[in-house]
Amino acid sequence: MQLVKIPEERVKALLGRIEDIEKAGDIKIEATAEEGISISSEDPIMEWKAVDVVKAIGRGFEPDTAMRLFSDDYVLRIISLKDIFKTEKQRIRVKSRVIGTKGKTRSTIEEVSGANVRVYGNTVAFIGKPEEVDLAERAVKMILNGSSHSSVYFFLQKERKKMEDAEQMI
């Protein structure tokens, strides 16, 4: 059994789809106010995947997107902004840069990389195939390091073209 804490405001999103998640992973999920979310399964691999699904929902992903993590083809990666930026003012600024005006930056990263990206609390989280998540994470790290949006967009297009060329060679 594993315990996972998720923000209180995200528990409803989890509870609304708890039966679907339990069926998809052959697991048992219980939510308690004191301990958080407990996850148990006979299969330790499914339990581990279910922990990622619950964490993803806690980081702002829709349950359907999070449930992709039951597939071996998808991964969850989370960047903690608290580990990089010490002040709340810095974190607010970089979250705004990652999201962009009217969500343009985040949606461009998602569109070009193929990964799903969420900025929630003090984290930036990614769900996708490993190569998609790698590309999206590199783009976000460029933004966190102060690169201009145009540089990031250029980088994304160049890397996506490389990925497409590699796929055509197969």
Tell me the domain boundaries of the chain. Answer: 2-70, 75-169
- Domains 2-70 and 75-169 are alike in CATH topology: yes
Q: How far is CA 107 from the centre of its chain?
A: 14
* Per-residue pLDDT reduced to its tens digit, 31-76: 887 778 999 999 999 999 999 999 999 999 999 999 999 999 999 9
Give the per-residue pLDDT at 32: 80
How much is the pLDDT for 25? 81
Please identify which residue in the block is written with the tokens 């590199």: 138
The three-class DSSP label of residue 67 is: helix
How far is it, in rounded angstroms, from Cα 130 to Cα 19?
A: 27
- Look at residue 170 in the predicted model and tell me its pLDDT: 67
Write out the two tokens for 84: 């990089």
Q: Classify 75-169 by CATH class.
A: alpha beta
The reply to whether the predicted model has a pTM over 0.85 is yes
Distance from C-alpha of 67 to C-alpha of 52, rounded to nearest angstrom: 9
**For residue 140, is it left (φ>0), alpha (ψ between -120 and 50) or beta?**
alpha
> For domain 2-70, is the CATH number 3.30.230.10?
no
